[in-house]
Amino acid sequence: MNKVKTKNRSAEIEALIREMTLEEKAALCGGDGHWHTNAIKRLGLDRAMMTDGPHGLRKVVQADGKTVQVPAACFPTASALAASWNPDVLAAAAGAIADEARAEGVSMVLGPGVNMKRSPLCGRNFEYFSEDPYLAGKLASAYIQAMQSKGVGSCIKHFACNNQETRRFTVSANVRERALRELYLPAFELAIKAAKPAAVMESYNRINGTHVSESKWLLTDILRGEWGYEGMVVSDWEAVNDRPASLLAGLDLEMPDSFGDGRTRIIEAVKDGHISEETLNTAVRRILNFIFAYAPDKDAAPRDPEKSYAAALRCARECMVLLKNDGMLPLAKGSPLAVIGGAKTMRYQSSGSSKVTGSPKNDALAAIERENGLPATYVSFEEGAEAAVKAARHCGRALLFLGLPESFEAEGADRRHMRLPDTQLEIAKAVALAVPDCAVVLTCGAPVELPFAEAVRSILLTYLCGDAAAEALAELLFGRQNPSGKLAESFPLSLSDTPAFLNFPGDGDECDYAEDIYIGYRYYEKRGVPVRYPFGHGLSYTSFAYRDLTVSGTAVRFTVKNTGPCDGFETTQVYAGQNTPKRALPVKALCGFQKLFLKAGEEKEVEIELSLRPLEYWDARERRYILPDGSWTVYVGASSADIRLRGALEIKGDAPGAKPVDRNTLLCDIMREECYAPVREIFAGAMLSNTDFAKLCGEYGCTEQNPALRPRLGFALRQAVYFNPEFSETVLQRTICACNERLFGHVKEDV
């Protein structure tokens, strides 16, 4: 019965709620087993199925008494998809996954994951997009829209601050609201507002001491109150700490089934008046809405593995990142080649709830031999450095397959270091010393230290690129396709350079986000810490020239020309930073991007509308975002560090309002903040005439030139009494009252 015409849906739902008993309502707010909502047979309501996600369908079924996963296509994981910087690639992956979900009668896919990459060590970084919230939010929106346009719900996760796996069920992300609002929430906000995902999955961890599953502030006040979200909130699996408390906070569906425990506790709480039936009805209504909106289509086309593979290949081609190339790539065809390391079974996904039963064509060795037209001389890591050097010398050129083993990066555990396994490093060093023509294929889901980077000629990062990884790789290595991926995260030189180094994974259950608003490139740029490869970096076999930047309002226009020998994609990136910020702000932030395809010699004008939100800061006192006004620089480039054009942007922002003046108001704030301009003359006027203090106010203009006066601006108003015996407490109070009267039209009591 789950198919209901949209027009009648809400009436049907209300009728159903009226029919439901308390027990049925409570049951609907929990799972049936691991992957279903509860059916209510009496009322003809079927159960709905949800499965992981996010880079392929992980549908778990029982067959012959065993738990098995149905075959499904595996797409590049999130860190790879993000490196495409192409919403169309995200849409292609999500659309194809949705087709498979429909074929399998699945109502919702548990993804995408948009958590920020606070540290490269987080074990699930391969499942997350970026260190930049704007990029992550844009890509997630494309994924969700594409999936839902095919009638399959998407569940954005893990809301919020699930930035590590260590003690993930209990750890408290101790984070300032400003960092939450500027880094950890905006990707969710952007995607939730733009794409309206069917569900939001709350995260395991606590935030500032409160379990997210019980945070009314996050699940109701912000998510629904501020962002207007109307869909369903689902728990991460086994995340619920206290079911009645979570229901009151706004968590609608508890997953999986807690063997009736959650249900019983809800029933008790309603009976004893702790939870009103209306609150329960609200959760039930949202769950029913989801069930009806994404009811499976019995006539859906069956799974088409070839079509899915073609989509996976199309995606994989755009996800690999050429990190370094001094001309060895693309490889010349038809010459001997030594292939060393993990080429026969390339890693293409990782472990945990996202692991799908794919049909990988992951024999990169075979794909390379096909493309080269010659058998390669292959040496495995087990054969050791000597054999590898011998093969490399014999062939005159070598391709080294390095990367993280699956046990290094997986759900449920963080990495402890950023190194590749020692054997790999030894072999890389020996081969790079033995032959000058040595290129590296790097396969991992997150950044690693690359001590051999200077010694090799080229490095191609494949990330974990799904079923078609090997084929896409071979095409890119031999130049049949042109690499176009760019990093959606910085590649630091070493772990100790990273922003959260001192506070990851925290001290027991307390993890202090002491790096605050500075993660990723925001941190490296602010501190001037050199990185191996910056955010946004990625090379191509062709080259691009940028020119003619104009900035008019928030419209940024410039021209890009393909000046090299072959066709290719370029991802143009727009950042902006305030020239002389009064607040702590990053040097610049990404606020627009566009990937475009240019034939050799072709040029195009690019127009990008700047998004202002990444430029705003969260003002804790006013509890709102503020766009700082003044002069800004717009940076247009091929990466965050490869800036090709600069333009000026004047922002007429909305400065924070004045707060009431009191005895601890600083003189420098009065003199510098625009909002206090109307009261400045009070200080220079008769009330304080002849005092040093008044003189100092008048002299403010010269303090910029006269450093000796500068420290005095740091005084609070109450300290005026130290400057002049005539400046009594009474004068101070009168001054404060006069200020507040002028600012707010009334005298604020209790100053």
Q: Which residues bind ligand BGC (CB under 6 A)?
A: 52, 110, 157, 236-237, 353
Contact 382, 423 (CB under 8 A): no
Kindly state the smallest distance separating residue 110's Cβ from ligand BGC, in Å: 4
Kindly state the smallest distance separating residue 615's Cβ from ligand BGC, in Å: 31
Residue 194: phi and psi, rounded to 5, are -80, -35
Q: Give the ranges where 272-347 is alpha helix by DSSP (H).
A: 277-293, 305-319
User: In terms of CB distance, is 236 or 252 closer to ligand BGC?
Assistant: 236
User: In terms of CB distance, is 82 or 670 closer to ligand BGC?
Assistant: 82
Contact 70, 52 (CB under 8 A): no
Alpha-carbon span 340 to 177, nearest angstrom:
49
CA dihedral sign, ordered 309, 594, 533, 453: positive
Per the listing, tokens 């199309």 go with: 314
Alpha-carbon span 303 to 310, nearest angstrom:
13
Kindly state the smallest distance separating residue 392's Cβ from ligand BGC, in Å: 42
User: In terms of CB distance, is 68 or 545 closer to ligand BGC?
Assistant: 68
User: In terms of CB distance, is 343 or 410 closer to ligand BGC?
Assistant: 410
Alpha-carbon span 96 to 302, nearest angstrom:
12
Q: Is it true that the peptide bond before 112 is cis, omega within 30 degrees of 0?
A: yes
Considering 52, 99, 132, 236, which one is annotated as catalytic?
Answer: 236
Kindly state the smallest distance separating residue 287's Cβ from ligand BGC, in Å: 17
User: In terms of CB distance, is 220 or 353 closer to ligand BGC?
Assistant: 353
Largest CA distance in the chain: 95
Kindly state the smallest distance separating residue 436's Cβ from ligand BGC, in Å: 45
- The three-class DSSP label of residue 276 is coil
Q: What order of strands is seen across the sheet that includes strand 643-651? A: 589-598, 568-578, 630-637, 643-651
Kindly state the smallest distance separating residue 352's Cβ from ligand BGC, in Å: 7
Kindly state the smallest distance separating residue 34's Cβ from ligand BGC, in Å: 8
Question: In 3D, which of 507, 472, 460, 502 has the Cα closest to residue 322?
Answer: 460
Kindly state the smallest distance separating residue 732's Cβ from ligand BGC, in Å: 57
- The three-class DSSP label of residue 237 is coil
Contact 429, 387 (CB under 8 A): no
User: In terms of CB distance, is 110 or 191 closer to ligand BGC?
Assistant: 110
Q: Is 236 a catalytic residue?
A: yes
CB atoms within 10 A of CB 177: 14
User: In terms of CB distance, is 237 or 625 closer to ligand BGC?
Assistant: 237
Per the listing, tokens 């004893």 go with: 272
Residue 373: phi and psi, rounded to 5, are 75, 15
Alpha-carbon span 541 to 483, nearest angstrom:
7
Beta pairing, strands 338-341 & 377-379 = parallel
DSSP letters for 515-527: TTT--THHHHHHH
Residue nearest to ligand BGC (CB): 353
Beta pairing, strands 603-609 & 617-619 = unpaired
Contact 480, 371 (CB under 8 A): yes
Kindly state the smallest distance separating residue 237's Cβ from ligand BGC, in Å: 4
User: In terms of CB distance, is 227 or 237 closer to ligand BGC?
Assistant: 237
User: In terms of CB distance, is 53 or 76 closer to ligand BGC?
Assistant: 53
Alpha-carbon span 552 to 593, nearest angstrom:
17
Give the catalytic positions in this structure.
236
